[in-house]
Structure 1
Amino acid sequence: MTHKRIMDIELLRAIAVLGVLFHHLQGSLFPGSQPLLEHLALRGQLWWGVDLFFAISGFVIARSLIPALRGCRSRQEYWEQTRNFWIRRAFRLLPSGWLWLLLILLCSLYLNQSGVFGTLHANLMATLAGFLQIANFRFADSFFTYEYGASFVYWSLSLEEQFYLLLPLLALIFRRHLVWALLALVAAQLLTFRDPLLMVIRTDALALGVLLALWSARPGYGRWEPMFLRRAWLGPLVLLGIGAALSVLATDQFSLTRYRIGAIAVLCAVLVWIASYNRDYLWPRGRLKTLLTWVGSRSYAMYLTHIPAYLLVRECGFRLEPLGLSPALSHPVLILACAVTLVVVLSELNYRFIELPMRDRGASLIARLNAFRTAVTSSGVTSC
């Protein structure tokens, strides 16, 4: 099986992060009443981008990790593969995550005349929860109870980190029964009403992504390829249709139904399934897709930077008001343009100078550990 990047998955990453960025406009960038955003929110919401991220993560991670673990011939080799996986994930995610946690905390100290970043105490507790990878539990505890802090999006990152920690252990415990264990996990959640705690440990989309990855290694996966989507107009129509269904399910009219989150997880998994074949089924190649795949490659950085970027734009508007410049900065289109520009710049800087270098350092550390293990093994064989 090939483990190269799947461009159609990058497309879905772009859709996911753009949906989340749009969802957070109301409340983070525009704190007051925005009739257009409120009108759109009544008909469709885009927070389901987080669940799409979960399904993508489950698929991408399991696609490479599970075959590697199942190919191990000894318990020691299994733990070495697990160690390498954890190192890769840590170097890929934690440096950027921790950097923006600290920057948000510093902003709450030094760039917070307007109070947009919240109180220092709330941000300090949020930073600690983010460092400890328990932000999702704090987020559930704070729901409509107390101020969380400006790093509230870290709840989903903590859930994914917990998933990365547990998946190799689940594969070891259940072995060949892993599929049944994951199916049971999904079934238990599909029709369960999600209270705040269950909303922040919703692992059905993650589990469905893992199941899809396991299926992609079997012969039947190829036979189920949706080749009818080869028609250039049909794939985008399916994408838009599923996206519209997800957006309607995410509205408040379904907030008290038991099946809503499970249905969202299933529809997100369907999108990942179509994208997994990497045949341009969801969108034809062209300039728009090239742009979206670029966004997808920076999606992690955009997810980290968009809230501080939104709040910084508001803080700048507050500070410029005494200079008589606030009318120029009060137009929603100009505010949005400033925020989008700042998100793009910060994301690109983070991607180039944090993500890529730290990813390479993680790969280098793994190579050194593997070389050391080989040298020790060879030395032992020679001495015998």
Structure 2
Amino acid sequence: MNNKKNLDIEYLRALAIAMTIATHLPILLPFYSETFLPLLSVYMPWTGVDLFFCISGYVVSKSYLEHLDRYHDKGLFAVAAQAFWLRRFYRLLPTAWLWILVPLALSLAFNQSGSFGSWFENLRSLTAVMTFTANLANQYGKLLGPNSVYWSLALEEQFYLLFPLFLLLVRSWRWRVGLLLGLIALQFGLSRDPFAGPVSAMLFSFRLDAMVWGVILYLVSRTELYRQFEPTFLADKGWLRVAFVGLLVYLLGAIPGQMIAVPVAVGLVAIVSLLLVGIASYDKGYLPVPAALSKGLGWLGSRSYAIYVIHICAFHASTELWHRYAQARGVELGTSFTLELVLTALVMMVVAAELNYRLVEQPLRRKGAELARQRLARFVGAEEDSRDVAVRSTAARELA
């Protein structure tokens, strides 16, 4: 396995988090609602989440599928699955739970504007998040309240729980691909418009297409078919890369903005996500990223998970801060505070994400990796082969 981090995947993560932040700007700037509405009917960027889903399906499969299969052949699948879950636990949950506790504390101590919601709404969110049911809870009276972004994290957690079990029960490559394609086909024609009623909204919160496509992408990448589909036509023509990838990025937001009432819209979004992740999976610079932006986008991609769980809290904190300022001066918090609100939220987001990455994510990721290694070592001793070492190294880089 190649241990080098795939920068094109990082760039897609940066795109996904930028789209997610753009989706939630009305929370920070509610006085622009009438301006946002017509824009969102043309380009709806909530599909950045679907891009995240597809990346997760592909990267987790790349990092762990062969590893889990190999331990299955050794009769140690249960141990390998436990090691996988340990890694995922330490990678995701400390950050997620920290940034559900912070708004809870702020709802009690820093909440004159009410932007953080009530302490009970935050406590209820905490309960849903810690029971991995946030996507389900969000469909019943909006029980996630001010922390609604956690619905997608719950869906990923459910995927990580079931992923090893799927590999255990389905051993054949053909059966794996066939069943996954069947799952996509089962959902493809169903309406998943979040505004069309309770059934569609529920299906919207349990949409698996993009993650499943990510798994299929990795399964296909182990075959000759993957090499035959490599988009080499993007290699030498910069204008073609810009045009082709630009079209896909346009479709990623235009389909839900303009076609969400069409039942297959969400399924089409998943396919667009697959095409973008597929292009990035070759790691040959097929994405048109200017050199001047490479470092910044790489940073944004590597911190995207922290930013995802932090940005709403930063929006609320900025609103609270400037609400107090405006109230002290007897003025209304409105359009005249746009720049202040945005810059303050941006600074809070960047600083908090960097601190979280260095002080929480990185140390605990290493802790989870060490615990997983120790768990495996109890059963296989010190004779893990170099391929297993490569898997661990790749997982640490790809899932960063």
* Normalised-by-shorter TM-score class: over 0.9
Which of 304, 308, 316 in structure 2 is aligned with 1:303?
308
Which of 362, 370, 373 in structure 2 is aligned with 1:364?
370
Supply the RMSD in Å over aligned alpha carbons: 2.0
2:188 and 2:3 map into 1 onto residues whose CA distance is 30
- 1:320-359 superposed matches below 5 A: 320-324=325-329, 330-359=336-365
What letter is aligned with 1:180?
G
How much identity, in percent, do the aligned residues show? Answer: 37
Q: Which residue of 1 aligns with 2:69?
A: 70
Q: Which residue of 2 aligns with 1:90?
A: 89
Cα drift, residue 328 of structure 1: 9.4
Indicate conservation of the 8 Å contact 2:104/2:122, yes or no. Answer: yes
Structure 1 pair 67/147, CA: closer, same or farther in 2 (3 Å)? closer
Cα drift, residue 260 of structure 1: 0.5
Indicate the larger mover: 3-12 or 13-22.
Answer: 3-12
Uncovered stretches (5+) of structure 2, i.e. residues with no partner:
193-199, 384-400
Cα drift, residue 284 of structure 1: 4.1
- TM-score normalized with structure 1 length: 0.92
Which of 261, 272, 276 in structure 2 is aligned with 1:267?
272
- Deviations 1:140-174, CA, capped at 9 Å, x for gaps: 223xxx56321110000000000000011011112
- Deviations 1:326-381, CA, capped at 9 Å, x for gaps: 6798431232111111111111111111000100111111222233334599xxxx
1:277 aligns with 2:282: yes
1:305 and 1:179 map into 2 onto residues whose CA distance is 36
Indicate conservation of the 8 Å contact 2:79/2:375, yes or no. Answer: no
Which of 169, 172, 180 in structure 2 is aligned with 1:173?
169
1:134 aligns with 2:140: no
Q: Which residue of 2 aligns with 1:196?
A: 201
Indicate the larger mover: 146-155 or 104-113.
Answer: 146-155
What letter is aligned with 2:100?
L
Q: Which residue of 1 aligns with 2:389?
A: none
1:108 and 1:73 map into 2 onto residues whose CA distance is 47
Cα drift, residue 291 of structure 1: 1.1
What letter is aligned with 2:59?
V
1:234 aligns with 2:240: yes
Structure 1 pair 171/374, CA: closer, same or farther in 2 (3 Å)? closer
Which of 240, 249, 255 in structure 2 is aligned with 1:243?
249
2:59 and 2:113 map into 1 onto residues whose CA distance is 41
Which of 321, 343, 360 in structure 2 is aligned with 1:316?
321
- TM-score normalized with structure 2 length: 0.89
Structure 1 pair 225/96, CA: closer, same or farther in 2 (3 Å)? same
- What is the DSSP-based 3-state SS (H/G/I as helix, E as strand, rest coil) of the residue aligned with 1:315? helix
1:47 and 1:221 map into 2 onto residues whose CA distance is 29
1:355 and 1:201 map into 2 onto residues whose CA distance is 27
Uncovered stretches (5+) of structure 1, i.e. residues with no partner:
378-384
Q: Which residue of 2 aligns with 1:380?
A: none
- What is the DSSP-based 3-state SS (H/G/I as helix, E as strand, rest coil) of the residue aligned with 1:233? helix
Indicate conservation of the 8 Å contact 1:51/1:205, yes or no. Answer: yes
- Deviations 1:214-249, CA, capped at 9 Å, x for gaps: 111112211211010011222222221111112111
Which of 147, 150, 153 in structure 2 is aligned with 1:151?
147
Q: How many residues align?
A: 373
- What is the DSSP-based 3-state SS (H/G/I as helix, E as strand, rest coil) of the residue aligned with 2:120? helix
Q: Which residue of 1 aligns with 2:25?
A: 25
Q: Which residue of 2 aligns with 1:382?
A: none
Q: Which residue of 2 aligns with 1:8?
A: 8
1:58 aligns with 2:57: yes
Structure 1 pair 101/76, CA: closer, same or farther in 2 (3 Å)? farther
1:161 aligns with 2:157: yes
Cα drift, residue 41 of structure 1: 1.4
2:252 and 2:381 map into 1 onto residues whose CA distance is 53
Indicate conservation of the 8 Å contact 1:56/1:209, yes or no. Answer: yes
Q: Which residue of 1 aligns with 2:395?
A: none
Structure 1 pair 334/376, CA: closer, same or farther in 2 (3 Å)? closer
2:322 and 2:143 map into 1 onto residues whose CA distance is 23
Structure 1 pair 180/109, CA: closer, same or farther in 2 (3 Å)? same
Indicate conservation of the 8 Å contact 1:283/1:289, yes or no. Answer: no
